[in-house]
Structure 1
C-alpha cells in the first residue's frame, strides 16, 4: 500500500540553550504498522531542557527511534478526525474510532464528512486491540456505524467511556466501564502490566446541569509517563491543576459556529499545556476533513499552528 501523509505538529515546552537531537517522530500514516509519536521516560526527561518549538516529519523520511524502556512508552497513530490508536505497555487502545462510512450525525444533508487521507483504511485493517476509549456520546466520537461491526469483530472488547454514551454502548458491548470525571480504572492484558486511565471533565453538550463529557489521563505501567487527551480543548481548570501530563493531545485551531464554539484551541491550548506542565503538545487536526452540507459552510476556523507557537513563547 502506498503511503500518503501530511505533517502534523508536536511541540516541546521547556527552555534550553542546547541544540541536541530530539528523539521524537510524529507522522500521519495510512499503514497501521508505522508509528507516529515515539517517546519514553528517558527521552522525555531529556526534553525537560528543550525549547518550545515544532517537530514534524513525513512517513517516508523517518525511522523509528530506539528506546531503552519497553513498557513506559507511548506510540500514537493518528487516524484522522478524533480517532487514534495508542500503544502503551504492550496494550493497544482504540480511541473514538470512525472507520466505517462517513461522519454525518444521521443527517447527511446538514453535515457529511469524509477523511482526506485514510480513505481506504477499514476496520479489518486494525490490529487486535485491548480497549476501546470513548470520550463523548455524539457521533464524531461514539460512531455507531463503526461501533456496530467493531462489537462483532471484538465481542469481548474492554470499553471505557463516558456515562453519557451508556444508551449507545450497552446494546453493543458487555464489558464496559463508565467513568465519571475523577474516577479511574486499570486496563490489563495477560502479557502486560496495568495501564491506569483516569477520567477528567470535558465539554457539557446540552443544558448546564448535564453531566460533562470526558477527557482522559492515561498513565504508563511504571508510572513514568502520562498522556492527556480531550478532543475539544475544553477542561475544568480547577480539576486539572491537581494533575500533570507529559504528553498533551489537543486541538490548537478553534472551530466556530455563529455564537457557538465547537472546538477551542489557541490560548486555551497554551493554558492547558501550562496547567499540566506538559513536555509535549501534539496538535490535532480534527477539523481537517472533506466536509459538505450546510453546517460545514458556516464553520469558521480561528488561529493557526504558527499563532499557537507564538503564544507558547509568551
Structure 2
C-alpha cells in the first residue's frame, strides 16, 4: 500500500493514508483491494500527527473512506496536498495548503520542530494538459536530511537534477497494464536514485494487496527487489536498499 507515517526531526507526517475500509475507487466490481498487513489498525491507533501529506487526487492516495473520519477527529489538522485534490479536501479540512511543483511550505510540530516540504512534479493522470500530481522533498532543519517521495516513480528529470535527497522512497517493481505502465520502477528507480545522489532507497509495496476484480486480473508486476538491487549496485554502488516491514519503525540516521 501507499500509507506512511514519517517522523522527521520530531515532525510527524502522515502520507496518503488508507486505514479505513478497502481501496476500490468507487467501482468495486472493477477493482477491490484489502490490506495484507495491519488489518486491524485503526485511526485511533495513530499517534498525534503534525501534517497530512497527499500526493495525488485518486482514491489510492486521497482515500475518502479514511479522510472523512480523520477530518471528524482532527478538522484543524495541517494538510499539504496537490491542487488536484482541492474539491475532495476542502469540504473536510480547515487548514489545507495546496502546492504546485516548485512551491514549498513549512510544517511546525507542537514541540517547535520544523520541516520544509517542497512539491515536485509527478505523473499526469488525465489528459496531457492536466496539472501533474505531486511528489515531495521533505527537508529537515538546516538541511541535515532530505527525503524524496513520489509513489509512481514518475518524475521530471530537469526539475530534480538540481536537487538531492539522502532518502528516496519509491516503487521498484513495475505494475503494468496491457500497453500501459501504471507504476514504474526497476531501471527508472535506479536513475531516480542516481539523479538525487541518494544514500538510502526504501522500496514501496504498492501492489502488495489482496485484490480482486477485472482490473486486478490484468495488472502484471515486472521485476523484483533483488533485480533492482543488482541494477542499483552497478550505477550507485554506495547506496543502500532498506526494506521496510509494515508496522515496524525503520530508523534512518542523518548522514
1:112-131 matched pairs, under 5 angstroms: 112-131=32-51
Confirm or deny that 1:204 pairs with 2:204.
no
Give the Cα–Cα distance (whole angstroms) in 1 for the partners of residues 220 and 112 of structure 2.
44
Question: Of 277, 297, 300, which aligns to 2:217?
Answer: 297
Q: In structure 2, the residue corresponding to 1:196 is in which secondary structure? A: strand
Confirm or deny that 1:95 pairs with 2:15.
yes
Match of 1:8 in 2: none
Give the Cα–Cα distance (whole angstroms) in 1 for the partners of residues 19 and 82 of structure 2.
20
Match of 1:41 in 2: none
Question: Of 161, 173, 182, which aligns to 1:253?
Answer: 173
- What does the per-residue CA deviation read over 1:58-86, in whole Å, with 9 as the maximum and x for residues that have no partner? xxxxxxxxxxxxxxxxxxxxxxx010000
Moved over 3 A (4+): none
Give the Cα–Cα distance (whole angstroms) in 2 for the partners of residues 120 and 249 of structure 1.
25
For structure 2, which runs of at least 5 residues remain unmatched after alignment?
235-255
For structure 1, which runs of at least 5 residues remain unmatched after alignment?
1-80
Question: Of 81, 89, 92, which aligns to 1:169?
Answer: 89
Asked if the contact 2:50–2:110 (Cα under 8 Å) also holds between the matched residues in 1, the reply is no
Give the superposition deviation at 1:87: 0.6
Match of 2:145 in 1: 225
Give the Cα–Cα distance (whole angstroms) in 1 for the partners of residues 18 and 59 of structure 2.
9
Confirm or deny that 1:241 pairs with 2:161.
yes
CA RMSD of aligned residues (A): 0.7
**TM-score, normalised on structure 1?**
0.74
Asked if the contact 1:217–1:229 (Cα under 8 Å) also holds between the matched residues in 2, the reply is yes
Match of 1:152 in 2: 72
Match of 1:182 in 2: 102
Q: In structure 1, the residue corresponding to 2:24 is in which secondary structure? A: coil
- What does the per-residue CA deviation read over 1:104-127, in whole Å, with 9 as the maximum and x for residues that have no partner? 000001000001011100111111
Give the Cα–Cα distance (whole angstroms) in 1 for the partners of residues 23 and 175 of structure 2.
17
- What does the per-residue CA deviation read over 1:141-197, in whole Å, with 9 as the maximum and x for residues that have no partner? 000000000001111100000000000000001100000000000001231232000
Q: In structure 1, the residue corresponding to 2:151 is in which secondary structure? A: coil
Give the Cα–Cα distance (whole angstroms) in 2 for the partners of residues 98 and 285 of structure 1.
13
Larger radius of gyration, structure 1 or 2? Answer: 1
